[in-house]
Amino acid sequence: MNPSRRVALKASGAFAVLVSLGIATPSQAQSAMNRAGFQAKTLSDALRALGSTPATSDQVSVVSPDVAENGAVVPVSAISRLLNTTEIYFLVEKNPLPLAAAFFLPAGTAADVQTRLKMSESSNVVVVVRAGGRLFSAVKATRVTLGGCGG
């Protein structure tokens, strides 16, 4: 068994016990499990923390500007036409911490999310979608003329 899978299974079991005993709420357990993804320093580490390498899908779309004048507020959106979409993640490849946002969708919710991201430099915006227990992705390049992470 993969060591990272073991860690995930142990953490999931521990949080399930805490939730069942009323010590932690489900949202607290979910946020603690995703903390590793938000602390990842490379895109590959962030994807690993999400579970695996996603497959590219034409059913997932990323909308972001070709050129963003201000990297501090880059409008982006993601649309998933995949059935049973439960999670949408935004990653910015060249940011110091690539995982920028995570959205958890209740059953029956339209998988259409919009937000604003901070981008330190021109980079690919990667959207990862969990649908039917599998990961799918789409990528869009965005050029930043004024950096948002201290630039």
What pLDDT sits at residue 25?
56
- Cα separation, 119 vs 116, whole angstroms: 10
Amino acid occupying residue 123: S
- Cα separation, 145 vs 151, whole angstroms: 10
Q: Show the DSSP H helices in 2-103 as ranges.
A: 3-20, 26-39, 43-50
Residue whose token pair is 């990862």: 128
Q: What are phi and psi of 108, to 5 degrees?
A: 85, 0
pTM equals 0.75
Nearest-CA neighbor of 79 among 129, 117, 118, 132?
129
Position with higher pLDDT, 129 vs 5: 129
Q: Give pLDDT tens digits for 45-93.
A: 888 888 888 999 999 999 999 999 888 899 999 999 999 999 999 999 9
- Is the pLDDT assigned to residue 147 strictly greater than 60? no
* CB neighbour list of residue 49: distance below 8 Å, 6 or more residues apart: 34, 36, 37, 40, 99
Question: Residue 41 has which token pair?
Answer: 């320093």
